[in-house]
Chains A and B, each alone.
Chain A
Amino acid sequence: MSEEEEKDVPTNGRATALRLWRSAAGIRWRLVVAAVAAVLYVATDLATPVYAASLIDHLWAGIQRAFASGRTFRVTMENGGVDILVYLGIWMLAWAFYSVQSLVMASFAERLNLKLREEISRKVERLPLRYFDSHKPGDTISRATNDLDKVSEVLQRGLLQIIISAITLVGALVLMARMSLLLTGVFLAFAVLSAVLTKVVAARTLAVAARRQDVLGRLTGRVEEAYSGRAVIKAFGREEESLARVREDAEELAQVSAHADFLTNAISPAIRFLMRLAQVICGVLAGGMLVAGRITVGTFQAFFQYVLKASEPLTQLSLTLNMLQGALAAAERVFVLLDEEEVVPDPKEPATLAEPVRGRVAFEHVRFGYAPDKPLMRDVSFVARPGQKVAIVGQTGAGKTTLINLLMRFYEVDGGRITLDGTDTRSLARADLRRQFGMVLQDSWLFEGTVAQNIAYGHPGATREEVEAAARAAHVDYFVRTLPEGYDTMLANDAENVSQGQRQLLTIARAMLTDPAILILDEATSSVDTRTEQYITRAMEAIMADRTSFVIAHRLSTIVDADLILVMDHGDIVEKGSHRELLEQDGVYADLYRSQFA
């Protein structure tokens, strides 16, 4: 049941609970009302058996009187009827309190979750790229969904349940003790026994659930990779081996999950069994007391009702307390996300760029590292003059993407500065800075929406003509027209009807439509074939005129005409110059070039 890999115990439960309480500002009255109603409900609920006892005794007395005088007995309004209706009245009171409690609480948890989720979406807007680059998307998503769901589940059912269970348990025990200390003692002994049992089983359940998660993870990995590598399996005729492996993992999962499911579900009947034993022993003992006239029929029955009332919360309590712990741990994870360091806010009075932006970009002694103790860029300086094509070359990890990260201010420099048209980019509002750039990234991200909406992403007001013009310029117009609904075809992020090359063309069209002063092409052409790449390069050349552009490419053929080539290695620029200059230098670039074209 529980898909738990994370910690299930909060590090500071009290602080987290308090913070949740603070987060619930505005809807806290619901909790208060519900709690009061819950207490009243328990009180009434506990009163019913006492009244029922006297009711049964009263009826039984009437019946015996009737029998003694040789008559039969009928319930009429005068003859017990009113008492029964009072009984109904007490029940209805309990029902009313119960209803208030559960209806008021029905929306409390989701309202609180909505508040927290909105905080998360605000947070996502302000988290630095550093956060996203160092956390898996799934982790962040599961905080906004699974973790908050856990919180709401406990708030929904568990929180009041704990109040109700605790009071019921104590109340029932007190009332039972007033009827018979001996019987209560017997019951209590079994209660302690079942509490111990719950604890033991719960610990086992957690362990088994963790193992199940492990095995499931293994099977998932196995199936995922098999589906991705289907062509290999089939081409080499390895179907049987692959099936055998999946079968093996599936078998292990079946065994573990049978075990886990049994433990999870067995706890209630096991406790019920102990409670039944208690009932049997109490029953025999109470029967003897009844015969001896020490208790009445009504009391006998009332006592058993209390036994039933007290048995239920006992199981409930230990289970919900575990759940509460889990929920607090989940809430804690949400708060950790909300407390993550945010990007430095834009300056109060940001500088503005003189229109039109010319696109002169300068790195001046830029120093940067992803981790403070591991500097990557030690001292990078270069100038890209307006309209120049700057190519960045280097091995994976040489710092090409880092350069772009700094340029776009996805990351901030540790030292030195970057200027655009002479203005330090840090003095600009991020949005103003980024508006000057058009970029085509390594992974061609598309969102769920139509083709047209995707192309117009950076320029939502674009007309259909503008969208189509951009698509034509990116050589994707023809492809779009072959789609079932043309520009209105819906795309999903995992769209399998669009190939990687086509996705990239779409993102190029998207960049083109924003008409930026500076273009960034981050390995964009790597999965487009050479011929298409040639078209794109031509189209790019056209819009790159009068624009500064930064191109990262693996293939040197696309960048030989660059005005400036930056050769990077281990974060720093080791060579810079034009293609010819660099060949003449006969250094790293010349070597690289020869290796590709020899």
Chain B
Amino acid sequence: MKSRQKLVRWLGSGVVAALAASLLITSASGAGRTASTTGRIPRLSNGKPDFSGIWQTTSAADYDLEPHSARKDAPPGQGIVAGGQIPYTPAALEKKQKNFAARNTADPRLKCWTLGTPRGIYYPEPFQIFQRAQDLTLVFEFGDTVRTIHADGTLHPVDTDHEFWLGDSRAHWEGDTLVVDVRDFNDQTWLSRAGDFHDEALHVVERWRLIDANTIDYQATLEDPAVYSRPWNIEVYLYRHREPGFRLIENYCYTLDYDQFYPVPRS
């Protein structure tokens, strides 16, 4: 809980507002290289962009967020981290390297645990967004995972010691961009199969934007002073599944370990 206390102190110091402002600037500069919105995008009746649909990345981000050549257990990828490298503190980098070495047994994904935020977004299985004016509901095919992004003006809970797997998500609109502030995490999730990690002080600011009717430009800024020396940014595109009849198929994969114990009885 040390890191938790640290965060609380940090919040109390009022530093966070200034930092958040700087994050937005960083993030906005990162956005400079993305295409502007083209063509018509779907909208709700209130005029806000409508993200409803089934989405999935085509990137290799979940294998490794940083640029990497092919490995036996990962296709190559250019990475999705702005600047290429995650700015780990020296101690955290050591831990990441240990995680990397143990990745084929230690990745929480292998136990089918909830992937967390943002990993669930760029994990290579589809998720479906259901959207109302007041919230977005993200149903992930992988695991028993439903994430609500509140867009009704409510604030993070006063009690900030919940330690959610997915964080607590509160959003507002900046033009056609949905900006989501996510905090109050536990430290049980990884960010990739390469052992990238965070602790409970993780704070994620996501920026969701439709660049055309079938493509979401997803950006996120991650900060966690116990693990990273500065905030850092990722950006990945999500593509709409348009195959006729495509639908989410439940994958409560943690049940597969005991599936063998539940044969359907027969006469």
Q: Do A and B come from one complex?
A: no
Binding site for A on B (CB under 8 A): none
Binding site for B on A (CB under 8 A): none
